[in-house]
Amino acid sequence: MIKPLAIAAALSRFASSSSAQPVRPAPCPPAQAGAFAFIVGTWEGKLYDFKGSDSTYNGVTEVVTTTTLLNGCAIEEHFHAEDHGATESDGVELRAFDAPTQRWHYAGYTTLNQFYTYDGEYDGAIWRFFFHGTIDGKPAHIRISWVQTPWGYSKQIARSADGTTWVTTRHFNFTRRGS
C-alpha cells in the first residue's frame, strides 16, 4: 500500500523541479533583431505635407521614445504629438516580428480612441507597413515606411486609391533629442 505522505512528497519534488526551470524566450533572428535598431531612443520630429513637389512644415511636432522589448523582436513606442504647441494626441505603438509568418506587424492606440494595425512587407531594402480597410466609412489604403537618414530617420506616409499606386502625402523628419 502506498502511503499518502509518500505520494505528497513525490508530487512536491516533481512540482519544485519542474517549476525551477525558467522559460527561455525563442531567440530573435539576428537580421530581425536589428531591423529597427536605428529608431531606438528619444526623438523629436516635425511633420511636413507634400503639395506637388513642395514639402511644407505644417506645425505638427512629435516626441517619440522607442525601446526594444523581450528578445529584441518587439519595439514599443510612446509618442506625444502637438499641433502648433497644443496637444493633439498621445499614443503607444507596438512593432513586433512574427516568426511563423516572417513578417513584422505594427499596432497602435491613441488618446483620440483610435486603434490601428498594419502588416509589414520587406522589399529587399526597407520594411513598409500597410493598412487596407476603411476610415470614416470610406475605403483607405495607407503605407508607412521608416527610413534611416543622415540626421536620424524619416517616417513616410503614403496613400493609395487602389492599394497599388502610392503617393507620399506627408513625412515626419526625426532627429535624436538633444543632438
Residue numbers of the domain that contains 108: 29-176
Number of compact structural domains in the chain: 1
The verdict on residue 74 lying in a domain is yes
177: left (phi over 0), alpha (psi -120 to 50) or beta: beta
Does some domain include residue 7?
Answer: no
Name every residue whose Cβ is closer than 8 Å to that of residue 53 and which is 6 or more positions away in sequence.
none
Closest by Cα among 52, 29, 43, 35 to 145: 35
- Domain contains 6: no
% of the chain with per-residue pLDDT over 70: 83
| 43 close to 176: Cβ distance less than 8 angstroms | yes
Task: Output the domain CATH number for residue 160.
Answer: 2.40.128.20
In a domain, 149, yes or no: yes
Residues 95, 109: contact at Cβ < 8 Å? no
Output the pLDDT for position 129.
Answer: 94
**Does a structural domain hold residue 2?**
no
Q: What is the pLDDT of residues 84-100, one digit of tens each?
A: 888 888 999 999 999 88
- Stated pTM of the model: 0.75
Assigned domain for 68 exists: yes
In this predicted structure, what is the pLDDT of residue 10?
A: 42
